[in-house]
């Protein structure tokens, strides 16, 4: 009788009464459910932040349709529809727009950018937790990426910064995970190449990551060599395309022009004593009475813009570069002072208007529809944008959603002073904790944040949107600086 019952239970167990002791039985199912609930509870605060970030982006999409425009947006669209290297900006972001062109909706571009913004927050959190950062630290590190109103507004602008930010953060998260094999090194290199071809400020990061890989792999150069090759080949290929188009070496043709604008914040021709061909670029006004650096690139009364031909011809760019180099060599302390003052704008307590009211307003959610572009290149780009959209491109403001996100932006922006505190935390923690195994993991994202903040101030000028891609890297560094030590890696003869 007992044997028959056992056989009966075994027969029915495959259908209605599974053996609770089996790996796929009721006990296993309960254990899997318990582990699932435990994981959700473990990450519950991050999931709350992530849900809030999603809700804010949905409100933004509903309130501002299809997207928000910036002066650079129109030239991006022109390059997307007619692929060719641009003299001022590399074509990485236009190619991103071209991938989405079959939808004929700028709302799809904005949606993709919002998803990329969410991805950055998720990357920061997961990387911090993988490297043993406390849950509270990892969650706080993701907050600026997910909840900062200016980050959300930047994602809704048709500009390259969101794409650039996710490429850089993906490379940084991949590089700090652990030992980097050749496949990971190749992926890091390709991500950095894509970042460089999206914004040229990504180029110094290639050298930074190579140095990090050599340090991380204890002097072995294989990973660094693979990464350098993977990063170099796409950039060289793009440079060949650029040369075939303009017969100029490089990936843009505006480096000298922007550096000239930078140096005009301090250049004194009485000190420089430039030769006659460079003297035409001098400004007799005292440095304190001059406009911001960007005016020397775009304003009609700029000495450079007054020269024959377009501003970015090879002749004008070379001339501007020579002037800038002479200014830096003649006034090195003034140059360092200019860089420092521009960098300091990243860390202000408030948000003062800079460089002018027009640019400043582009980084605010507007209460009224923005006016159509007035400058000639932008008007040409607007016509191309209408072909991309296959319809009107003007931003429609829909209440009450737009009002909600405007109110949120008034209270939920990350202050510049907070960015400074976040940057100072990792080195301060490293000084306090004199011995920690694998304590240098924070150094790479921290260095990335510093480079992204310093480079615009060094070669062009400060801009509020240039700060935002550096914030996630700084937050990841801060989370890694307070992570739990891994005592299993400590040699037995070391005392703590």
Domain boundary among 375, 391, 414: 414
Q: Is 89 contained in some domain?
A: yes
What pLDDT digit, counting tens, does each position of 328-342 carry? 999 999 999 999 999
Domain boundary among 414, 441, 471: 414
Q: Is 464 contained in some domain?
A: no
Q: Are residues 71 and 91 in the same domain?
A: yes
Q: Are residues 98 and 12 in the same domain?
A: no
Give me 410's structure tokens. 């008034």
Domain count, the chain: 2
Q: Say yes or no to pLDDT of 487 above 60.
A: no
With cut-offs at 50, 70 and 90, classify the pLDDT of residue 18.
Answer: very low
User: CB–CB of 168/472 below 8 Å?
Assistant: no
Q: Is 137 contained in some domain?
A: yes
Return the pLDDT at 11.
39
What pLDDT digit, counting tens, does each position of 399-432 carry? 999 999 999 999 999 999 999 999 999 999 888 8
Q: Are residues 32 and 47 in the same domain?
A: no
With cut-offs at 50, 70 and 90, classify the pLDDT of residue 367.
Answer: very high
Return the pLDDT at 19.
44
Return the pLDDT at 30.
63
The length of the chain in residues reads 496
Distance CA 196, CA 455 (A): 13
Q: Are residues 9 and 91 in the same domain?
A: no
Higher pLDDT among residues 430 and 18, named by residue: 430
User: CB–CB of 200/132 below 8 Å?
Assistant: no
Return the pLDDT at 220.
72
Q: Say yes or no to pLDDT of 248 above 80.
A: yes
Residue 93 domain boundaries: 43-158+366-414
Q: Is 374 contained in some domain?
A: yes
Q: Is 407 contained in some domain?
A: yes
Q: Which of 216, 241, 212, 242 is nearest to 228 (CA)?
A: 212
pTM: predicted TM-score of the whole model, two decimal places: 0.89
Q: Is 186 contained in some domain?
A: no
What pLDDT digit, counting tens, does each position of 278-325 carry? 999 999 999 999 999 999 999 999 999 999 988 999 999 999 999 999
Q: Are residues 14 and 52 in the same domain?
A: no
Distance CA 223, CA 207 (A): 13
- What single DSSP character describes residue 252? -
Q: Is 474 contained in some domain?
A: no
The CA-based angle 217-220-223, given to 5 degrees, is: 75
Domain boundary among 414, 430, 454: 414
Q: Are residues 77 and 131 in the same domain?
A: yes
Q: Are residues 6 and 105 in the same domain?
A: no
Return the pLDDT at 257.
96
Q: Which of 127, 220, 234, 131 is nearest to 182 (CA)?
A: 220
What pLDDT digit, counting tens, does each position of 206-241 carry? 999 999 999 887 767 889 999 999 999 999 999 999
Q: Are residues 103 and 11 in the same domain?
A: no
Q: Are residues 23 and 86 in the same domain?
A: no
Q: Are residues 66 and 152 in the same domain?
A: yes
Q: Are residues 49 and 152 in the same domain?
A: yes
Q: Is 59 contained in some domain?
A: yes
């Amino acid at each position: 009788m007992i044997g028959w019952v056992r056989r009966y239970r075994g027969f029915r167990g495959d259908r209605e009464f599974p053996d609770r002791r089996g790996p796929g039985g009721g006990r296993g199912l309960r254990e899997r459910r318990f582990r699932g609930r435990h994981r959700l509870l473990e990450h519950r605060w991050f999931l709350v932040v992530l849900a809030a970030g999603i809700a804010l982006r949905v409100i933004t999409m509903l309130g501002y349709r299809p997207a928000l425009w910036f002066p650079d947006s129109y030239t991006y669209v022109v390059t997307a529809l007619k692929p060719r290297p641009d003299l001022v900006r590399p074509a990485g972001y236009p190619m991103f727009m071209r991938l989405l062109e079959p939808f004929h909706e700028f709302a799809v571009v904005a949606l993709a950018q919002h998803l990329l913004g969410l991805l950055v927050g998720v990357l920061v959190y997961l990387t911090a937790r993988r490297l043993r950062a406390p849950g509270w630290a990892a969650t706080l590190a993701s907050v600026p990426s997910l909840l900062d109103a200016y980050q959300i507004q930047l994602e809704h602008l048709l500009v390259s910064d969101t794409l650039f930010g996710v490429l850089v953060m993906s490379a940084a998260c991949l590089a700090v995970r652990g030992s980097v094999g050749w496949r990971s090194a190749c992926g890091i290199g390709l991500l950095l190449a894509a970042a460089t071809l999206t914004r040229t400020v990504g180029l110094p990061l290639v050298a930074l990551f190579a140095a990090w890989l050599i340090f991380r792999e204890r002097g072995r150069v294989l990973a660094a060599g693979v990464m350098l090759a993977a990063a170099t080949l796409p950039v060289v290929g793009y440079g060949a395309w650029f040369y075939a188009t303009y017969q100029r070496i490089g990936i843009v043709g505006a480096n000298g022009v922007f550096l000239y604008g930078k140096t005009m914040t301090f250049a004194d021709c009485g000190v420089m004593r430039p030769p006659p061909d460079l003297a035409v670029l001098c400004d007799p006004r005292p440095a304190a009475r001059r406009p911001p650096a960007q005016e020397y690139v775009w304003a009609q009364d700029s000495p450079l813009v007054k020269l024959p031909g377009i501003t970015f011809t090879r002749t004008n760019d070379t001339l501007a570069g020579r002037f800038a180099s002479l200014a830096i060599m003649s006034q090195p302390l003034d140059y360092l002072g200019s860089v420092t003052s521009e960098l300091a704008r990243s860390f202000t307590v408030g948000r003062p208007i800079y460089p002018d009211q027009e640019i400043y307003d582009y980084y605010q959610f507007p209460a009224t529809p923005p006016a159509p572009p007035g400058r000639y290149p932008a008007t040409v780009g607007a016509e191309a944008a209408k072909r991309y959209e296959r319809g009107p491109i003007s931003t429609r403001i829909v209440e009450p959603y737009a009002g909600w996100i405007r109110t949120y932006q008034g209270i939920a922006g990350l202050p510049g002073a907070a960015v400074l505190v976040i940057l100072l935390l990792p080195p301060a923690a490293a000084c306090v904790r004199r011995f920690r195994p694998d304590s240098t993991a924070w150094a790479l994202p921290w260095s990335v944040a510093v480079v992204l903040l310093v480079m615009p101030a060094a070669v062009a000028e400060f801009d509020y949107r240039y700060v935002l891609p550096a914030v996630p890297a700084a937050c990841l560094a801060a989370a890694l600086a307070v992570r739990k030590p891994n005592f299993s890696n400590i040699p037995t003869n070391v005392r703590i």
